[in-house]
Structure 1
Amino acid sequence: MRRSLTELSIEVENISLERPANLSYGDYSSNVAMVFAKQTGQSPKGLAEKLLQKLNENKLPQVSRIETAGPGFVNFYLSKDFFLEAILKILGEEKKWGENKNLSKQKIIIEYTQPNPFKEFHLGHLVNNIIGEAISRLIEAQGAKVKRVTYHGDVGLHVAKAIWAMEAHKLDPNKLSEWGRAYSLGERAYRDSEIKGEIDEINIKIYEKSDQEINKLYEKGRGLSLRNFKEVWERLGSSFDESFFESQTGEVGKALVEKNIPKNIFEKSEQAIIFPGERYGLHTRVFVNSQGLPTYEAKDLGLLKLKEKFFNFDKSIAITDIEQAEYYKVVMKAAELVFPELKGKIEHLS
């Protein structure tokens, strides 16, 4: 293309080639004749016809034919031999096809799947796992050093709800299916103000590990869930380099929030600690609640710190469903203020 344009006394630095949405217009198409028509004092269609003549004189063997279309488009059709050679090359390279070194100096940590203990592994987790694994392999194929990690909510209200129902309905804690049922029962019961208080109390005891019977139920349900997740991943062909847990990240995140109150990143509000997102065009969110417990937001701050300690990454990618997009905007903004060195290194895909 550049040679043909030069022969027409047209010098260009960048040439636009696009893949038409309709393949009847070729494998590649260019509007270069329309771009330079005025400069040369010609009509776009007239310049396209002159360019076509030069292109045919300089045609590469991989191109079967070239045509003009519409007001001055130039369309290129690749030859059957080109596609045959490309397919044979792909088949010969097998799994190595497409590999390159574009990201060879990058260390990238990718978080995905994230099923929570005490709840069932569902279709949403399966979709997330497929997407996360695909992205991990694509990035690996570009030469990056990739660490796959997952993140489990092994503490929080969902756990307290399940444990409350286990005790209240005398369910069998040795059966995984009963834990899924327990969570559903606890979720519905939480709407009752009296039961809500009981579940909130259990939630605090889980964090404090202050009740022996609750501790036993907690360890039983957590262990059953994690073993089940491992079995599912083996069936899916997935494996993770590290698993992080909210029971790890909670206190780390809470300490970070409290440490950054004097820096005006967080502020106290009605016995809770909030991130004033409105300052940045975002939502204000609670990071430590009125009971003194870290919320998901604070835990995600703690998770970032643990991820960095684990891998010292160049980029951290978290993959979730689209419903968490706004939530992550707040968390990422807070993280950039708490960890300025991570600005531009944190990415959320949904």
Structure 2
Amino acid sequence: MKDQIIKTLKKVTGQKEIHLESPENEEFGDYSANIAMQLFARTKNKEQRTKGENPMQVAVEIVNKLKADKELTKYIDKIEVAGPGFINFWLKKEVLIDGLMQIDSKKENYGKSDIYGGKEIVLEHTSPNPQTTIMLGHLRNNFLGMSISNLLEFSGARVLRDAIVNDRGIHICRSIWGYLNFASKKSGIKIDELLNYKEISQNSIESVIAKSGWRESLNLWIQDKSGWLVPEDLSLKPDHANLIWYVLGSKAFKLSKEVEKQVKEILKAWEEEDKDVWHVWKVILAWSEKGYDETYKRIGSVHDQVWYESELYKGGKEFVETGLKKGVFQRSKGAIVTNLKKYNLADTVVIKSDGTSTYMVFDLNLTSKKIEKFKADLYIWTIGLEQSLYFKQMFAVCEQLELGKREQFFHLSYALINFKGGGKMATREGSVVMADEILDQLEGKTREIIKSSNQKLRARLSDKENSDLVKQIALAAIKYSLLKVSRETTIYYDMNESISLEGNSGPYLQYTYARTQSVLRKARGKRQEVKDLKGTTLQLNVEEELLLRTFIHFPEIIEEAVRNYSPNLLCNYLYDLAQKYNLFYQKHRILENVDSGKKNTPYTEHRSPTTSFRLTLTSATGQILKTGLYLLGIKVPEKM
């Protein structure tokens, strides 16, 4: 319908670009156009303006032409002009019923499109450093990347999800130093203290530093690993244990020049492929991979391809040599820098004056490997907003080096996430919130809510079903809470708000879906076929009409969300739909009472057209909520 209205507006106005939007206030119709105001603003004849012509008059002239279009009037009920010159359109009831029929027939495919049909897309998401664990901030990256992947696939694209593991460098060597010294059973620090690592005093850290000698410790570890703690000794997930070694190693690095020297020695030995250093390095990374896989499975994350910095870091300098010959790079004060003047971008260092490479050299190499292995139409990087300039520079350099056109590369940026009343999180200091920790807390709160609310449901659920329900609700709480905010807006996360069954939350939408399924189960019989509703003489009440007018916008919201990489638009729509359905549910009886004198009598006999219609509305609401939440990476419980 939207495309047809745009087509007709183009025909009557002669304009090539028409913007049609869905008004937030339903009083202004199903669609609204501001073309009259745009035409008036472009009017060059000042005499026309002085004679009293205004946008409202221009809009009236356009509407008169629209009303004369026989094709348009087949599905438009009315067209009105509203100040200061908007043209508003209302669809006919038959069109709304036809939309309901499409939902019933297409089911989970309703809203699917082919706008990205045939497109191959590589999307990178969730590449946290392996020496720590997945944090709350990483979840925003993950949920954004996964939801955009789902939306792209729903819109016809073939998406490959990849990640890069930054498994080498000074940060990893701080972890190695931390493990060799703080995990030693002779360190003088007890397990209880390690579990409360954030509170370990500076004096205790300095006492470990005084006894440190990384090579001697490593030799002893190689000979007899039983003298060192492993994650099982701490009863921790392996990546949670790794976080302890990294945080304590980083604190020691900051406190002591001697530790800094030792860590750099470890890095040098690693680069020389010292077999003992690589041995402990592989052990720590194996713990990391095991822990990360558990969390990824918990949150429903997928990676189809994983790249490792340790396998690629030696490459990339050939691009610098080629770039120097082509003028892509230039020498400056002993360093090699970019040459981005024609892109109106600030230049950045590629090779430092001491000969060491910056991360751009690695990224150029990785990008070339991606392009070589996956001949995609679009490459997406899900990375924080603070890296925006860097990615503009990197994409421009890729174009200069003829790796691809800038439009083939996209930075899917997002802002920070903090707790309400809290500050920015910093891993090195240990003042962080682990993803598993917050999921555990949400699951605990969910158990309490279920325990205090629906005893009948709990009695019918097995232990596994109850456990699965808790996990679904808790994950919906955090996912929806992080996705409902525009991606470039800072989030101030509130756990209690996210888990609430009232208001704009994931559990609220899950509850609404479960309500629709409860109604349909009570009907316990085949409702009237939707095709029988076409041409119905039912008089729609306000709430029924609002639902119908909301349904038709679902495919458009999907398209808008995917084109703008904005899953929050889908969140807003689903919340609005849930509110409208719950108002409808509260104000109107869906199932008529059948006075048979028997319990558990199916609502199938003598069903009125009104009941059949309302059951169809209920089914359609449930289907759209289920599909929309699936695209956000959220499962829906049938009972709640």
Under TM normalisation by the shorter chain, which class is it? 0.7 to 0.9
**2:177/2:263 contact within 8 Å kept:** yes
Q: 1:338 to 1:25 in 2, by over 3 A?
A: same
Q: 1:231 to 1:90 in 2, by over 3 A?
A: farther
Equivalent position amino acid for 1:244 in 2: W
- After the TM superposition, which of the residue ranges 251-260 and 122-131 deviates more from structure 2? 251-260
Query: Hey, what's the Cα distance between the residues in 2 that align with 1:265 and 1:52?
Result: 55
SS at match of 2:123: strand
The aligned counterpart of 1:105 is 118
Equivalent position amino acid for 1:153 in 2: N
1:206 corresponds to 2:273: no
Gapped runs of 5+ residues in structure 1?
none
SS at match of 2:183: coil
Query: Hey, what's the Cα distance between the residues in 2 that align with 1:282 and 1:50?
Result: 47
Q: 1:291 to 1:72 in 2, by over 3 A?
A: closer
Query: Hey, what's the Cα distance between the residues in 2 that align with 1:279 and 1:33?
Result: 38
- After the TM superposition, which of the residue ranges 36-45 and 173-182 deviates more from structure 2? 36-45
The aligned counterpart of 2:14 is 12
The aligned counterpart of 2:397 is 334
- With normalisation by structure 2, the TM-score equals 0.48
- After the TM superposition, which of the residue ranges 62-71 and 116-125 deviates more from structure 2? 62-71
**2:368/2:403 contact within 8 Å kept:** no
Structure 2 matches for 1:277-292, cutoff 5 A?
281-289=344-352
SS at match of 1:347: strand
**2:398/2:404 contact within 8 Å kept:** no
SS at match of 2:152: helix
Query: Hey, what's the Cα distance between the residues in 2 that align with 1:93 and 1:173?
Result: 56
Q: 1:80 to 1:166 in 2, by over 3 A?
A: farther
Q: CA deviation at 1:153?
A: 0.6
Q: 1:285 to 1:92 in 2, by over 3 A?
A: same
Equivalent position amino acid for 2:125 in 1: Y
Q: 1:179 to 1:268 in 2, by over 3 A?
A: farther
- The alignment yields a C-alpha RMSD, in angstroms, of 3.4
Q: 1:240 to 1:259 in 2, by over 3 A?
A: same
Q: 1:75 to 1:178 in 2, by over 3 A?
A: same
**2:55/2:84 contact within 8 Å kept:** yes
1:128 corresponds to 2:119: no
* CA deviation vs aligned residue, 1:293-335 (integer Å, no higher than 9, x gap): 5432221111101101211222211111112112212222222
Q: CA deviation at 1:109?
A: 0.9
**1:249/1:300 contact within 8 Å kept:** no
Equivalent position amino acid for 2:14 in 1: V
% identity of equivalent residues: 30
Greater share of helix residues, 1 or 2?
2
Query: Hey, what's the Cα distance between the residues in 1 that align with 2:343 and 2:13?
Result: 46
SS at match of 1:222: helix
Q: CA deviation at 1:340?
A: 4.6
Q: CA deviation at 1:135?
A: 1.4
The aligned counterpart of 1:178 is 241
Query: Hey, what's the Cα distance between the residues in 1 that align with 2:178 and 2:354?
Result: 22
SS at match of 2:90: strand
Q: CA deviation at 1:132?
A: 0.9
Query: Hey, what's the Cα distance between the residues in 1 that align with 2:167 and 2:247?
Result: 16
Structure 2 matches for 1:116-155, cutoff 5 A?
116-155=129-168
Query: Hey, what's the Cα distance between the residues in 2 that align with 1:305 and 1:143?
Result: 26
Query: Hey, what's the Cα distance between the residues in 2 that align with 1:263 and 1:105?
Result: 34
1:166 corresponds to 2:179: yes
Structure 2 matches for 1:312-331, cutoff 5 A?
312-331=375-394
**2:242/2:287 contact within 8 Å kept:** no
SS at match of 1:126: helix
The structure whose RCO (Cα within 8 Å, separation 6+) is larger is 2
- After the TM superposition, which of the residue ranges 193-202 and 34-43 deviates more from structure 2? 34-43
Equivalent position amino acid for 2:182 in 1: H
**1:250/1:294 contact within 8 Å kept:** no
1:196 corresponds to 2:196: no
* CA deviation vs aligned residue, 1:119-171 (integer Å, no higher than 9, x gap): 11112222111111111122222322221111111111210111111122235
Q: CA deviation at 1:62?
A: 4.5
The aligned counterpart of 1:257 is 320
- After the TM superposition, which of the residue ranges 298-307 and 94-103 deviates more from structure 2? 94-103
Q: CA deviation at 1:65?
A: 3.8
- With normalisation by structure 1, the TM-score equals 0.83
**1:66/1:75 contact within 8 Å kept:** yes
Q: 1:270 to 1:195 in 2, by over 3 A?
A: farther
Q: CA deviation at 1:247?
A: 1.1
Query: Hey, what's the Cα distance between the residues in 1 that align with 2:372 and 2:65?
Result: 59
Equivalent position amino acid for 1:26 in 2: G
Query: Hey, what's the Cα distance between the residues in 2 that align with 1:272 and 1:190?
Result: 28
**1:109/1:313 contact within 8 Å kept:** yes
SS at match of 1:260: helix
Q: 1:11 to 1:103 in 2, by over 3 A?
A: closer
- After the TM superposition, which of the residue ranges 213-222 and 194-203 deviates more from structure 2? 194-203
- After the TM superposition, which of the residue ranges 112-121 and 263-272 deviates more from structure 2? 263-272
Q: 1:130 to 1:322 in 2, by over 3 A?
A: same
The aligned counterpart of 2:363 is 300
Q: CA deviation at 1:24?
A: 3.0
Query: Hey, what's the Cα distance between the residues in 1 that align with 2:10 and 2:368?
Result: 55
Greater share of strand residues, 1 or 2?
1
The aligned counterpart of 1:226 is 289
* CA deviation vs aligned residue, 1:174-196 (integer Å, no higher than 9, x gap): 32222101111222233333322
Q: CA deviation at 1:281?
A: 4.3
Query: Hey, what's the Cα distance between the residues in 1 that align with 2:345 and 2:54?
Result: 51
Query: Hey, what's the Cα distance between the residues in 1 that align with 2:150 and 2:283?
Result: 34
Q: CA deviation at 1:271?
A: 6.7
**1:272/1:288 contact within 8 Å kept:** yes
The aligned counterpart of 1:86 is 99
Query: Hey, what's the Cα distance between the residues in 1 that align with 2:135 and 2:34?
Result: 48
* CA deviation vs aligned residue, 1:189-230 (integer Å, no higher than 9, x gap): 3333332222222222223322x3321211011111112222
Equivalent position amino acid for 1:217 in 2: V
Q: CA deviation at 1:53?
A: 6.2
The aligned counterpart of 2:519 is none
Q: CA deviation at 1:87?
A: 4.4
Query: Hey, what's the Cα distance between the residues in 1 that align with 2:305 and 2:285?
Result: 17
Q: 1:239 to 1:278 in 2, by over 3 A?
A: same
Q: 1:173 to 1:245 in 2, by over 3 A?
A: farther
